[in-house]
Structure 1
Amino acid sequence: SFETKGEKAIVRFENVPTELIGRGNEVKEFEAAGADRKFYPAKAVIKKNTVEVKCKQVSRPVAVRFAFSNAPQPNLFSKEGLPVTPFRTDDW
């Protein structure tokens, strides 16, 4: 599921049995967009089975994308080692 709280977008992974993990120093491949529909690279923080996404250029996110490029190198996994597949919350 996807919701926004102020300057944060919160993505909840309901099908993850335990929690999410990032491999490396930070979770990569997240982008956020505001009402102007322009996507910018975003910072992501894992909290159990949710990811909080923030972006300097977007004060009120309306959409999030993950690993949405031609050659993504995502590093977000379930604790069991399964990769999170690319997704988008918009339909533009």
Structure 2
Amino acid sequence: MSEAAPSTVTILTHSYLDGYTQSISRPFGGGLERYVHALCQVISQMGLCPVVYQLSYFGAFDTVYEGVRVRGWTYDTEKIAAAFEEMAGAAEGLIIYGSCI
């Protein structure tokens, strides 16, 4: 028997919404953020549910941006790899690893 295809795709990245200035109502800026935004649109068009897990300098958050759930994970600058491991452990469905600084 084949397993059912996952309906969720979790993207792990260090930056998407502006977790650096606590302005999580918009993407931070550069090319990575535009790429993650476009990737979420493609995933949605495929009938799947994109979720973004990102690092957040000021504190954890859980919000929805343009129909996509975005979770911010706090981190210690000396333990960024551990933060990514924590995000990966909580991820659902398929996982896309975006970037780690």
Point out the structure with the larger helix share: 2
* TM norm structure 2: 0.31
* TM norm structure 1: 0.33
Point out the structure with the larger strand share: 1
**Rg (Cα) greater in structure:** 2
